[in-house]
Structures are given as C-alpha cells and as structure tokens.
Amino acid sequence: MKKNMIILITLLMSVSLIISGCGKNKSATTTKNSLEEIKEQGYFVVGLDDNFPPMGFRSESGEIVGFDIDLAKEAAKRLGVDVKFKPVDWDGVILSLKNGNIDVIWNGLTVTEKRKEQIAFSNVYVANRQAIIVRKDSEIKTTEDLAESVVGLQMGSSSEQALKSNQELSKSLKNIRKYSNNVEALLDLRAGRIDAVVIDEIVGRYYITKKKADYKVLDQYLAEEDYAVGIRKEDNEFREELNKVLDEMKEDGTAAKISEKWFSEDILVK
C-alpha cells in the first residue's frame, strides 16, 4: 500500500512538471506585440532616453519632443494607430524591448553586430559618426592630444563601444567617466570637470548649434555608424510594415520636412 502510494505521488508530480513545462514553452514562443496585436490595442510603445536631443528629449513644458519623436508619430498615423513614449534606462533598453516593456527602440539607436544578435532592426534611416567634442579654448586638437585626459560618454551607448574598440586611445586616457546621458557629460565638459566627450556627431553638432555652446568637434572620428529602429526578432510583420511606411515618408518628402525642422537640412539615408 505504501509502495503504491509512493508510485502514485511520483506519477502525479511527473504529470505536473510536464504540464508546467508545456505551459512555459508555449508562453516563450508566443509572439508578443505583433502587427495584429498592436492594431488591436491601438498603439505601440517607443522606448527612449528622454534626455537625448535632438532625437528625443523634454521640452521646457515637459513634453517629449525630437526628430525621432516626429518620425514615430508620423509612422504611427500611417499605420492607423497611436504611439506612446516611455523613457527607459538606456543601459538596459535592449532588455526592456525583449521583456515586452516597450515595442520598439526609436532614439538614435546605432546598428551594431552585438545588438543584431539580440534584436532586429528596421532599414537604416540616418548615417552618423562618433565624434570627439572639446571646449573651444582647449589645446586638444587631435586624438593623440587626449593622452592623460579625462573623457566622458554615455553609459551603454555606441560611443562607449567606439572608444573601447580603439585600444590605443583608451589606454592613453587618464580616466573614462560614464554618464547616464549626454547632457550630463556635456555640462561637465563645460564646467571643466572632464576634457572631452565622445558623442554621436549629429547630437553633438545639434547641441553646439542650438545651445550656442563653446565647444568644437575634432576632425578625427572614432567610428561611422547607422541609425535604425530596434524591434524584437519575432515581430517580423510589424518590422515589414514599419519599413514600408518609412519608405513612403521618404518618397513623399514628409521625412525630409521633419529632418529640416530639426537639422535645417535633409540628413536621411535614401
């Protein structure tokens, strides 16, 4: 009797584990936020760093605005849905996307091989470079002059990867200071707490022009790169539809008008 009871309990536990395992596999393979689900819920969620002008940032009234914000709004309108913007920690933005907390990353996201292993990308819409910015009165003219300097950059950004890839330059620096966003790094540069900032050229030049900051961009660049929208790998239908509307926006001139609003020229990749 005792032996039969043990066998029965063992069988029940086995069945329970099998059922539990099947449930987990089903959940893991279910496509979340596909094009159909997004249209049913009536919106998609954009994850962004809300302190990243001109791509996405807070206006004086607290509204999230920017170049990528306008592109996302226009794309959403053409998809027949709304768009919501959710500020996230940039260092963990990929995880936020994969966990389903956001539907896309649309915020000057650089396409890298490492990121391609984790997520999918839309077609490239902007070409960019990693630049080095110093104060206008700085004696630093070249990357060689940065030896024993303190350089700032945004943690988890492509700027960090670009500097890391240049071993010779990295090893020559006195210190690399990491910030939660580029604005903090640029403020420390202005205050003299650091000697240079590695930053997306588009962002750096926008900041210099709009803020009339006393900075200059070195003639040497650390890397060339492309911007695209980050999407979960399983969301193929959504990615295809998003590519379609982005192409339409380029072809009919709408994207060019948005670009001219923020950069006074059309910087989009055709």
Q: What pLDDT digit, counting tens, does each position of 112-123 carry?
A: 999 999 999 999
Q: What would the two tokens of residue 113 be?
A: 């091989």
What one-character DSSP code corresponds to residue 143? G
CA triple 83-199-164, angle to 5 deg: 110
- Answer whether residue 81 shows pLDDT above 60: yes
Cα dihedral: 36, 237, 49, 136 (round 10): -150
Residues of the chain within CATH 3.40.190.10 domain(s) are 35-125+228-263, 129-225
Determine the average pLDDT of the residues in 50-74: 95
Where does the chain show beta strands of DSSP type E? Answer: 43-48, 51-52, 56-58, 64-65, 82-87, 104-105, 120-121, 126-135, 150-154, 175-179, 196-200, 215-217, 223-227, 230-231
Give CA 27 to chain center in angstroms. 27
- Answer whether residue 28 shows pLDDT above 50: no
Q: How far is CA 270 from CA 76, 88, 161, 267, in A?
A: 20, 30, 26, 9
Global model pTM greater than 0.85: no
CA triple 87-152-224, angle to 5 deg: 80
Q: Contact 131/74 with Cβ under 8 angstroms?
A: no
Determine the average pLDDT of the residues in 78-94: 95
Q: Bigger pLDDT: 252 or 32?
A: 252
Please state, rounded to an integer, the average pLDDT across all residues of the chain.
88
- Answer whether residue 30 shows pLDDT above 60: no
Q: Bigger pLDDT: 193 or 9?
A: 193
* Sign of CA pseudo-dihedral 123, 158, 261, 230: positive
Q: What pLDDT does residue 209 have?
A: 82
What one-character DSSP code corresponds to residue 108? S
Q: What pLDDT does residue 4 have?
A: 52
Q: What pLDDT does residue 21 have?
A: 44
Q: What pLDDT does residue 212 have?
A: 76
Backbone angles phi, psi at 156, to 5 degrees: 80, 5
Sorting pLDDT into bands at 50, 70 and 90, what band is 62?
very high
Determine the average pLDDT of the residues in 220-244: 95
What one-character DSSP code corresponds to residue 268? B
Q: Tens digits of per-residue pLDDT, 123-174?
A: 999 999 999 999 999 999 999 999 999 999 999 899 999 999 999 999 999 9
Q: What would the two tokens of residue 172 be?
A: 């020559």
Strands 150-154 and 175-179: parallel
Q: What pLDDT does residue 35 have?
A: 87
CATH top-level class of 129-225: alpha beta
- Answer whether residue 69 shows pLDDT above 80: yes
Q: Bigger pLDDT: 27 or 76?
A: 76
Instruction: Residues 35-125+228-263: name the CATH superfamily.
Output: Periplasmic binding protein-like II (3.40.190.10)
- Answer whether residue 84 shows pLDDT above 60: yes
